Structure formats: structure tokens, C-alpha cells
């Protein structure tokens, strides 16, 4: 064979090899971009979130057996979040949380009460003794976690403002500020996020206002600086970054119920017997585990709360 022929063949081979690699890179890169897996540039506008500070509870209530329900890792709790105001993907809120300014922050408690009050958040931290409560958290999307919250019963705050006898429900509102919560620039839901509880649910000792988890103040993605935790209800009832709590007479509007009334009810009690129209609620995946767990009625808190719903048709009032 002439050396020229060999040269031409080798050149041809090299050209094909290079083009194959380039095509593979282009196709692979394009696919990863479509899958949202590309090295996504971090949102520049979102400043670095401040590190959480330590919070010391005065009391610990161990309600769960850590052998059966071990705590979900801090990492998972703070990177796997549904907080559409900070982005739609589970990892978005942790990346964008820096845009939420946690101080100054005020919480207004008003409506049908004798002593409406606007609290500064630091005042709240000081005036209510904090407890650690380890609760199961069951998302309506059929996954769950175990979270060591730091907080105090909502009832204590409500008693402070002395509700009138007309107050039958409690309405909660998240901060409305698209600059701090950029997800509010898109009308995915009707902002601000609002939630509600019946007054007896709100006064129940299990219902918590949380200021922290794992011994630290809440991070933005978990609903800092203050959020609701109702362990026997689906996670979306746990409204985040609350600015207002209002005592009202009529059942208030709640965001997910308003968005899709056939899929998300006002009560939203965890109930394996009543499926979401698009998926089963019988089982759940505990974050950190592969095998599914059986979902418990009222998320395992039936003994404490089932009596609140005596006589209520749970199929209709899902």
C-alpha cells in the first residue's frame, strides 16, 4: 500500500472518529439539557442565604420511635422542598432561598379577637418557650419525611390575642413579594399562598408554629422565619413564611383547594382510603428509603385527632 493511501485512510478514520465524538457530545449534551441535568447556572440574583443560627428548645417531646421512624437527614429536609414561590423543582427552593430576607419580619395576628397584635419575629422567638417536636410529614405527592421541628403550639399564640366566640376558622397568609419570592412572578398559583384551619384544629396541641429544625433556625426553603406544621394533614397545609394569621368566621380560601378543588380539599387530612384522583394515597415513599411504607390514617396521629372529625364524611370532606 502506498503511504499516501494509508495517510488518506487514516485521515478519514480520524475525521470520522472526531465527528462521532462531537455528535455524541452534542446529542448527549442536548439530552441532558432537556432533562434539566446540565450544569444549571445558579441564579445570580439570589444572594447566598445566611447560615442558620442555633435554637435551643426548653423541652423535647419524643413522640416517635426512632427505630421505626428515624429522622430524615438534614440534607434531604433542606434540599427536597415544595415551595413554589422559590421555584417549581424540588431542588430550586434551596438554591434560591437567599433572595428571601428574614429580618426585619413581622407577623400580624388579627381578625375576630380582643387583642390583635403585630409581633416582631424576634419577639416571637423570645416570648414563646420552644419545644422540639419530631413529627412525620406526609406530602400529598405520596412521599414522607421525619422532621425534628422546633416551635411552639399555635394555640399559645392564639390565646395571646384572645379570639372572640365568633372566630370559627383561622386564615394564614404567606409573604407576597415577588422580589423576595421570585416564583410569585409566574401565576402558577394565585399568590399569595393562603391556608386555613378550623379553630379546633388550630387550637389542637399537636398544631405547631415552627421556627426551626434540627436545632437551628429555619432556612428559607423550609418556610423561614415561621411556618405552620399540622402533622396529621398533607404537607401543603403547612404554609410557609407566614406574615398574617387572621381569625375569621367563615371557612377561608386555601390555595391548592382554589387551584384544583377536586384534587385538594380544605381538610386535607392524611387518609389512605381516599385516593388523590391521579394517584393512590395507600402507600408512601419515605425519603431515604427505597421500599414504600403503608400510609397511616391521620398520618399515625389518629388517636390524638380523629375525635375532631366525628360525624364528618371524610370521603366528601377530603
Partner 1 sequence: MAELAAHSGSTPKPYAWLKPGVFIGCLVPLALMVIEATQGQLGADPVAIALNRLGLMALITLVGSLAATPLRRVLGWAWPLRLRRMLGLFAFFYAFLHFTLYLAIDQGFDFSAILEDVAERKFITAGFAAFLLLVPLAATSPLRVRRMLGPKRWQRLHRLVYLAAALAALHFIWRVKRDLSEPVLYAAVIGVLLVARITHRKPRPLQAARK
Decide whether 116 or 288 has the Cβ nearer to partner 1. 288
Judged by CB under 8 A, does residue 14 bind partner 1? no
Cell numbers for 57: 428548645
Distance in angstroms (rounded) separating the CA atoms of residues 159 and 299: 27
Q: Which strand (E) or helix (H) includes residue 121?
A: helix 121-127
Coil, helix or strand at residue 9:
helix
Contact between residue 210 and residue 227 where contact means Cβ atoms under 8 Å apart: yes
Closer residue to partner 1, CB minimum distance, 7 or 123? 7
Task: Kindly determine how many residues on this chain lie close enough to bind partner 1 according to the rule CB under 8 A.
Answer: 53
Helices (H), the chain: 3-34, 74-79, 92-96, 121-127, 154-161, 199-203, 255-259, 302-305
Q: Least CB distance from residue 141 to partner 1, whole Å? A: 7
- Is 190 a binder of partner 1 (CB under 8 A)? no
* CA neighbours closer than 13 Å in the CB half-sphere of residue 242: 28
Question: Which span (157-165, 206-214, 279-287, 300-308) binds partner 1, by CB under 8 A?
Answer: 279-287
Residues 17-76 that bind partner 1 (CB under 8 A): 17, 19-32, 34-35, 37, 75-76
In our burial notation (b when 16+ CB lie closer than 10 A, e otherwise), range 198-231 reads bbebbbbebbbbbbbbbebbbbbbbbbbbbbbbb
**Which run of H or E residues covers position 203?**
helix 199-203
Is the N-terminal amide bond of 153 cis, ω within 30° of 0? no
Q: Binding to partner 1 by residue 216, rule CB under 8 A?
A: no
Reduce the DSSP state of residue 233 to 3 states and report it. Answer: strand
Which residues from 241-260 bind partner 1, rule CB under 8 A?
259
Which C-beta is closer to partner 1: that of 247 or that of 268? 268
The 259-278 contact track toward partner 1, x by CB under 8 A, reads: x---------------x--x
For partner 1, the binding residue among 64, 91, 251, 314 (CB under 8 A) is 91
Residue 317 CA, chain-centre distance (Å), reads: 22
CA distance 86 to 220: 9
Restricting to residues 99-138, name those near partner 1 by CB under 8 A: none
CB of 286 to partner 1, least distance (A): 10
C-beta of 23 vs 166, nearer to partner 1? 23
Q: Which of 122, 188, 249, 253 binds partner 1 (CB under 8 A)?
A: 188
* Residue 293 touches partner 1, criterion: CB under 8 A: no
Helix (H, G, I), strand (E, B) or coil at 286: strand
Distance (Å, rounded) from C-alpha 111 to C-alpha 168?
11
Nearer to partner 1, 283 or 317 (CB): 283
Q: How far is the CB of 192 from partner 1 (least distance, A)?
A: 16
Smallest distance from the beta carbon of 5 to partner 1, in angstroms?
A: 3
Closest C-alpha to 131, from 201, 211, 64, 203: 211
Residues that bind partner 1 (CB under 8 A): 1-2, 4-5, 8-9, 11-12, 16-17, 19-32, 34-35, 37, 75-76, 79-80, 84, 88, 90-91, 141, 143, 186, 188-189, 259, 275, 278-280, 282-283, 285, 287-288, 290-292
Amino acid at each position: 500500500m502506498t503511504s499516501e493511501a494509508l495517510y488518506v485512510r487514516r485521515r478519514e478514520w480520524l475525521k470520522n472518529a472526531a465527528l462521532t465524538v462531537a455528535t455524541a457530545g452534542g446529542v448527549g449534551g442536548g439530552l441532558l439539557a432537556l432533562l434539566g441535568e446540565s450544569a444549571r447556572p445558579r441564579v445570580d440574583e439570589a444572594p447566598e442565604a445566611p447560615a442558620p443560627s442555633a435554637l435551643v428548645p426548653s423541652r423535647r417531646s419524643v413522640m416517635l420511635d426512632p427505630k421505626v421512624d428515624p429522622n430524615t437527614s438534614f440534607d434531604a429536609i433542606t434540599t427536597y422542598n415544595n415551595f413554589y414561590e422559590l421555584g417549581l423543582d424540588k431542588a430550586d427552593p434551596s438554591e434560591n432561598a437567599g433572595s428571601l430576607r428574614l429580618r426585619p419580619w413581622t407577623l400580624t395576628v388579627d381578625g375576630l379577637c380582643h387583642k390583635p397584635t403585630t409581633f416582631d419575629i424576634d419577639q416571637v422567638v423570645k416570648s414563646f418557650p420552644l419545644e422540639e417536636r419530631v413529627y412525620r410529614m406526609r406530602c400529598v405527592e405520596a412521599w414522607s419525611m421525619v422532621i425534628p421541628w422546633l416551635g411552639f403550639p399555635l394555640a399559645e399564640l392564639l390565646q395571646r390575642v384572645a379570639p372572640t366566640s365568633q372566630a370559627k376558622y383561622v386564615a394564614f397568609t404567606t409573604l407576597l413579594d415577588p422580589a423576595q419570592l421570585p416564583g410569585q412572578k409566574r401565576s402558577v398559583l394565585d399568590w399569595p399562598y393562603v391556608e386555613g384551619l378550623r379553630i379546633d384544629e388550630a387550637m389542637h396541641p399537636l398544631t405547631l408554629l415552627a421556627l426551626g429544625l434540627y436545632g437551628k433556625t429555619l432556612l428559607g426553603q423550609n418556610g423561614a422565619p415561621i411556618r405552620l406544621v399540622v402533622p396529621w394533614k398533607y404537607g401543603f397545609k403547612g404554609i410557609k413564611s407566614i406574615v398574617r394569621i387572621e381569625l375569621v368566621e367563615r371557612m377561608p380560601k386555601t390555595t391548592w383547594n382554589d387551584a384544583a378543588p377536586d384534587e385538594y380539599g380544605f381538610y386535607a387530612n392524611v387518609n389512605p382510603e381516599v385516593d388523590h384522583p391521579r394517584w393512590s394515597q395507600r402507600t408512601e415513599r419515605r425519603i431515604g428509603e427505597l421500599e414504600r411504607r403503608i400510609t397511616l390514617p391521620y398520618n399515625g396521629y389518629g388517636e390524638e385527632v380523629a375525635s375532631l372529625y366525628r360525624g364528618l364524611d371524610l370521603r366528601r370532606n377530603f
